[in-house]
Structures are given as C-alpha cells and as structure tokens.
Amino acid sequence: MKAFDKRVKIVATIGPASGSSSVIRDLIQKGVNVFRLNFSHGDHETHRNTIRKIRSVTDRLGVDVAVLADLQGPKIRTRATEGNRPVEVKTGSLVRITSRNVISDATVISVDYGKLAKEVGAGQQIMINDGAIRLKVTGIGKNGDLIAKVLSGGEYASHKGVNFPDVDLSIPSLTRKDRSDLDFILKEDIQFIALSFVRKAQDVISLRKIIEKKRQDIKIIAKIEKPEAARAIDSILDHTDGIMVARGDLGVEATPFTVPILQKELILHANARAKLVIVATQMLESMIQHPLPTRAESTDVANAIIDGTDAIMLSGETAMGKYPGEAVATMAQIVQETEKSRFINHDMVDLTRNDRSAAHALCEAAVWAGRDLGGIPLCVFTLSGSTALYLSKLHYEAPIIAFSPENQVVKMLSLAWNITAVPLPFITDIEELHTSGEAKMLERKWVKRGDFIGIISGTNSIRGATNTFRIRKVGGV
C-alpha cells in the first residue's frame, strides 16, 4: 500500500502459512506494518530465520516494519489424554481436577499447576478449552484434588488451556521458557515485546528490569487478557508502552458479554495516557478457511477502528490460514472504508492526564494550526520517538511524517496511528535539517513546492530538546 492510504496499522502473525519471503513481501505490499512472532510456537532458529527474511524483504522494498515478539507466558494447560484423543465431559457430572501427572479422562482432569489445592477454593470457577467446559469447585479431596461440578459440558484434549477466573494464582508472570526466549529476543532486531497474562503493574516492571540491563530501545506491550489486569489498567499503563486487548482469554475469564465494553474502556484509557493500543484475536477468524470474512467480522474490525485503536491484529488468519494475503487486503480495505466514514472522531484527544511538557504543548499547537490551514502535513524530527507518539495520539487526521536517525525508532513508529516514519541522518544546523526532510518529502511526491508544512523539532538535535514549531512553505522559508 502507498503511504497515507490508511491511518490504523495492521499487525500480522507469522506462521507456517506466511513464513516464506514471497508471502512476507505480499503481506507488506497489502498493508502489514508490524509482524508478530508467537513464541508459543517455533524454536529460536526458526524465529531468527523469519527475522532475517523480514529484513531482507524490507530492504529490497525500501520500507520499514516493526517486529513484535510475543512471549508465551504462564499458560496453564491440561495434561495428555489417552492417545491425545478428545474427551467429552458431561454437564452435571462430578470430576476431579488434579495436579498429579496422570492421564486425563472424563472423570479426572490433570493440569500442569502444582498449587491447585492451596490457591483454588470451593465456589470458584474453572474454564477449560477457551471456556468450552465450565466447572464450579465444590470441595477439596484428601489428596489435594479439587472436586468440581460440570456446569457446562463439552470436549477437551491434551494441552488445552485452563483458566481460573478471579483466582489470584501465584504463578510468575515470566516462566523459565520466557526468560530463555528473552535472552534470544534481546539480541535480535526486535522493536516490541508483548508480555502475556499480565495481572498487575509489577509484572511489567519486572520485565522492564530484565530488558533494560541489555537494551533501552525495546517497547513493552502488556497483553490485557485477564479481568484483574483490566481492573488495574491505570497502574499498568503507568509502566507499559502500550497494551494489547487480547480478547480470546479475556473473553473466557470475563465472559464474552462484557468484552465489547471492556475493549472500548481499555482503548479509551490507553489513548488518554498516550500509550499504544492493539486490538487482537478472532478479528477475521473465518478467513482461516474462507476467502471472505463474515459481515459480523467486518463490523468488529470497523468498530475497533472507530473506538480509536492504533492497530488491529491478525493471528491464525495469517499464521496458518489458507488466505493470508486476502486477510490482510480485507483488513486494509475495511480500514480505508471506515476511515472515510463520518463515525471517526476527529476531535483532539484529551491527554490532560499525561505529564505535561513543552514538546506536548507544541504538538497540540501544531494540530490546531494544521487544521486552521486546511490539514497541512505535520513533520516531527525525533530521536526517541516520544514526541511523534504523542502527536499521533492527538488524532490529527492529515499526514504525520516522523524523521529520525535511529533505525529502531523508525521501525517502532510503524505501530503508531497515522505515523509514516522515515530514516534521516540528523545534522546540527537545524535549517539544513529541515531542508533535508523537505527534500525527502519532495522526492517521494508527498508534497509539492509552494505547499505549507508544519515542523516540530528542537533547536538542537539532541534527545529531549523539542522546543520549536514552525510553519514552512516547501521550497522557501
């Protein structure tokens, strides 16, 4: 897609259906801005090769995309069933939930968590296989097994997810596998790390301490997939760079009926704090098998865009689906059609809850001035990307171009709403710096001579020195 064709960004998950260079190229050309690597699957060598392919393709295309590494996190699962075959659990029956390593069947379900009897009590619910089976604990047996009544029966098999809604489990937010994956990730060309099953701000703080020992330039995305995380969203936002509304597990634990409103609330909170937000899970799920989405799926994607998300994500659709390219093209077209509608809010987002700074005031002034002049392009010269991210969150609808000498920042800004980032070496002479940025825009035919542009920058090209906004005529001063 061409620059400025859409403001909302698209995240696509890489998997067996999309791991080749040819498919990666196709997905980028159809609108992908960020590739997600799911560390629940694949080994380090596979992920390393995927990153190399992505960078090789983007180098040839002359574009920049971000890579998001999604940690598996502490997912609790059922142990093996006989022959790994599906097992049916009947509604109204009694079953034992055990941490003992035994074969699971219709009466005994073994899960890989050893503190069940200590942390789960009578009256609490257990969900298995994305909520297909719903249980209520009635008591604890002498051997530490939980006795549970089946409220809603269904099938499960080996290694299916087990959820404990509103139970404060002591399981750590980072597993041994996550720490091994982090050792690998921090050596690679990665821009974002997604932390799974966040419950509280401390989970993000712990991850940041590990990251910052080795790198300062990776952003954290906290996945909100547990009700307690949704309740603690403000404190989590204090410490994360962005959130992912991960509606799969969130829908299991918080019930599907509350997810639509939770999604809106989470986006609202993230935008008010000038933090990135991705909406994910089951957005075009039917396109795993079919070349066109359902009308309900198209509506769901459009509503996330209207809610004000920075990005929308494809999971199985591109990882293992039959139509990865069609899924991306469909999502891009929904973005374009929705962004032309009268339902997009063009009012400046209220960021008064954010810490104030000169750079923020300049961004707000630039938005007002840009609108008064009919929607002129706004250019921001940034070393860290923070001013560009803030400007993005004000929801200025005309093109925003971010120039940075830092390749990591250019790639990272691929996730931000309505930001087109361009690599540009910075020089100390500010007038020459502005002229070089203008030349890049002329070269790409984004502007023509005589157009007005707004420029946000510093009078010194050093980090944190943004202190100037000017309106400039292209080809003159």
Enumerate the active-site residues.
Answer: 36, 77, 223, 281
- Residue type at 180 in one-letter notation: S
How far apart, in whole angstroms, are the C-alpha atoms of residue 131 and residue 113? 18
Q: Is 280 helix (H, G, I), strand (E, B) or coil?
A: strand
Distance in angstroms (rounded) separating the CA atoms of residues 174 and 222: 13
User: Which residues, listed in sequence order, are joined to residue 150 by a DSSP beta bridge?
Assistant: 135
Spatial strand order in the sheet of 146-152: 108-110, 94-98, 146-152, 133-140, 125-128, 162-163
Residues 337, 341: Cα–Cα separation, whole Å: 7
On whether the CB atoms of residues 125 and 137 are closer than 8 A, the answer is yes
What's the 3-state SS for 177-215? HHHHHHHHHCCCCCCEEEECCCCCHHHHHHHHHHHHCCC
Query: What does the alpha-carbon distance between residue 75 and residue 251 come to, in Å, rounded to a whole number?
Result: 15
**Strand, coil or helix: 72:** coil
Q: How far apart are CA 433 and CA 438, in angstroms?
A: 9
Amino acid at 331: M
Biggest alpha carbon distance in the chain? 84
310: tokens are 């920075």
Q: Which helix (DSSP H) or strand (DSSP E) does residue 218 occupy?
A: none
Element at 325 (helix H, strand E) = helix 324-339
Residue 81 per-residue DSSP state: B
Provide the Cα torsion 287, 292, 298, 302; round to 10°: 90
Q: Which residues contact 45 (CB under 8 A, 6 or more apart)?
A: none
Our measurement of the distance from residue 31's CA atom to the centroid of its chain's CA atoms, rounded to an integer in Å, reads: 16
Instruction: Show the CA angle centred on residue 311, arms to residues 305 and 314, nearest 5°.
Output: 100
Picking from 278, 71, 96, 249, the residue whose alpha carbon sits closest to that of residue 160 is 249
